[in-house]
Structure 1
Amino acid sequence: MRDDGTLDDPYAPSSPTADMEDGTSTERTTTASRLLAYGRDLTGRRRAQVALATGVVCCLGLTAVAQVRDDGAASARADAPVGSSELAQRAGEQSASRGLDRVAATSTPAATPSPADPDTAPPTRKAAARPTSPAPVVGLDRTQMRNAEAIVRTGRDMGVPRRGLVIAVATAMQESNLYNVASGVLPESQNYPHQGVGWDHDSVGLFQQRSSSGWGPVGRLMDPEFATRQFLAALEQVPGWERMRLTDAAQAVQVSAYPEHYQKHEWRAVRVVDAILPSGR
Structure 2
Amino acid sequence: VSNSTTQKYLPGTHPDWPPPVRTTGPVAWFRKNLFSSPLNSVLTLMSFWFLWTIIPPFFEWTILNSIFTADSRKECWDQMSTPGVGACWAFISDRVSLFTYGFYPQPLRWRVDLSFVLLVLAVVPVLYEKLPYRKYGLLYSAAFPFIAGWLLAGGLGLEPVSTDQFGGIMLTLILGITGITFSLPIGIALALGRLSNMPTLRMLCVLFIEFIRGVPLITLLFVASTMLNYFLPPGTVYALLTRVLIIVTLFG
What range describes the TM-score normalised by the shorter chain of this pair? Answer: under 0.3
**TM-score normalized with structure 2 length:** 0.25
| Bigger helix fraction | 2
